[in-house]
Structure 1
Amino acid sequence: HPAIFTAALLNSQPMGFYAPAQIVQEAQRRGVEVLSVDICHSDWDCQVQDGVLRLGLCLIKGLSPKEAERLLHWRAQGGALHSEALRHGLGLSAAALHQLAYAGALSSLHGDRHQALWAVQGSLPLPTALPMPVVPEQAPALPAETSAAACIADYQQLGLSLGPHPLHFLRKWIAQSGYRSIAEVRMQHHGRPDRLAGLVTHRQRPGTAHGTVFLTLEDESGMINVIVWPQRVEGWRRALLQGRLLGVGGRLERQGASLHFIADAMEDLSPWLGTLSTRSRDFH
């Protein structure tokens, strides 16, 4: 029951080894349909209905559980859910409205994230003591949100995206720099030299490994474990400790069902990510 298992893991965060982004990506690879956060349908927890996983309000960064509880009670009582009603009828705070809009939770009511953010701003009181006439205002024709911008906003506010993986948007530049996808590298023969690039999701340095650093890298095609021997660590210290997107040269090693990549070159490609907010689980 991968959908139920995924919902349970997401509802138990923070926990375990993998972040919500990796958990959801693995569920999608296993055929689970995942629906975005939506104030018309989402509960606080992630829920499964008819085999489909609906993300919950609990994933929205900064959203107060008390405000979410008030919102869900308002919805259950039949209250309207557009931004004006939430602000002036329910009395939801300006911060909560912005968090909901930026997370995409109001998009089904207002069109997309851009329109939702505009609507939220329009529902807030003006910072003035002067009487102002009420003039009906039509929403402007704002430019549609690009897939790349949506990905950045999703990671910022939810810690994951249901759209394309961040490296999907960088694949052209990654390939031009001589790095292949993780899936392509994983298909190669034992001992073959190769180059790959991926987001850092985990860093480990077990006390029993005598200074060896283990990385887990991820791209839109999958994940791979990278081994950095102790003699390499000092020369790559900055990238190893701070890099979010790494390009790695080395060779693939297979030992039965186990597969890993031995690093002999490393490049920090993190500036390519721009404002994308990614997190790794480091040395736990």
Structure 2
Amino acid sequence: MTTQISAGLGLVSVFRGNKNALLLIAFSFYYRWVEQILLNTSVLTRQYIHKDLILPDRLAFFAFSVLCLESWSSKYLIGIEHFRFIQQSHKQATWPAPTQNYYTAFVGLCSLLFRPFFRMTLIVIPVLTPFTDYLKDLTSVHWLSKAPLWIAGTWLLWSELKVLYFLSKPASQPPRFLKEALARWVLMTLLALCMVAFKLGFRSFFWLPNPITLQSLLSILFPFGLFFTMFFLPLRIVEFWVDWVDCRTLSRKILYVASVIWLMFTMVTH
């Protein structure tokens, strides 16, 4: 009995000391679960290789409500990671901004272009189309019926600008477990939606023969690097950047980048 109590107290101690790590592990399983649901129930096959992601109405409205929380979630997650960064660096290190070099600045520019685009095409347009059709019946002015889409697009663009600003100049916030769980849930849900669309939309660009040869790998090297920089990293820029900053040593950063590259490779070639 004493051994069981000691073991239980030990587990509680481990949980308290590693909430963030356990939260990330839990949401990694959640991500895979959401991805499988989308692939199994929300995809319309149109050709042998090519597929389009079609969200059912209820799922689209749910995703739209989650999208409304994305700006807050991004700001909060960046804030608590900045707080941990300052605590672990003993207030001596400087938070690296995406504009620190040309490559990361270009990734930030791509995120400003393509993150709103994916959210518009996947979530906003399907949700607002019935409303715009209703307005079209009420007025003969074409631009007026499209006004909700322009407003939503401007809102998404403004939200993305704020995310880049938060990444460059974060405000520290002490972490709260339930708030962090909610913020990560929001971002992970939207990430799953965008990544499934990315996987289905770009997989045909990286079709490899069986068996895989060195020549076939070299043939996709340029398009792989292009899509990795322009689409894959921008779509997950918040999660990538806070994890990148959390890697304190060069070896950890190299290992982390290698794991991200491998993730995209397996995503688009399987």
TM bucket by the smaller chain? under 0.3
The two structures have a TM-score, normalised by structure 2, of: 0.25
Q: Which one has a bigger Cα radius of gyration?
A: 1
